[in-house]
Amino acid sequence: MFVIVGKEIIALPDGQPGQILQTDGNGNLSWASVSDRTNNSGWFYVDRGDPNNYDFRFGYTPQNWIPIQDAQYHELDLSSIVPIGAKRVRLNFVLRATSSLRTFVFRKKGQQNPYNVDGITTQAANVHCRHNVEVNLDNTRIIEYYATAGSSIDMVCIAVVGWWV
Per-residue pLDDT tens digits for 100-111: 999 999 999 999
How far is the CA of 4 from the CAs of 10, 13, 36, 153, 155, in angstroms?
6, 14, 24, 35, 30
Mean pLDDT, residues 119-141: 94
Q: Is a pLDDT exceeding 70 seen at residue 16?
A: no
pLDDT at residue 7 above 60?
Answer: no
* Other Cβ atoms closer than 10 A to 75: 12
Angstrom distances, CA of residue 164 to CA of 15, 25, 34, 144: 16, 20, 10, 18
Indicate the pLDDT class of residue 38, thresholds 50, 70 and 90: very low
Confidence of residue 51 (pLDDT cuts 50, 70, 90): confident
Q: What is the mean pLDDT of residues 41-67?
A: 88
pLDDT for the residue numbered 19: 59
**Overall CATH class of domain 56-164:** mainly beta
pLDDT at 116: 86
- Which is it for the CA torsion 125, 128, 132, 137, positive or negative? positive
Strands 45-47, 153-164: pairing kind:
antiparallel
Contact 78, 145 (CB under 8 A): no
Q: Give the pLDDT of residue 136.
A: 95
The reported pLDDT for the residue numbered 11 is: 57
* pLDDT in the model for residue 61: 85
- Residue 39 pLDDT grade (very low, low, confident, very high; cuts 50, 70, 90): very low
Domain ranges of the chain: 2-42, 56-164
Task: Reply yes or no on whether the pLDDT at 112 is more than 80.
Answer: yes
Over 50: is that where the pLDDT of 2 sits? yes
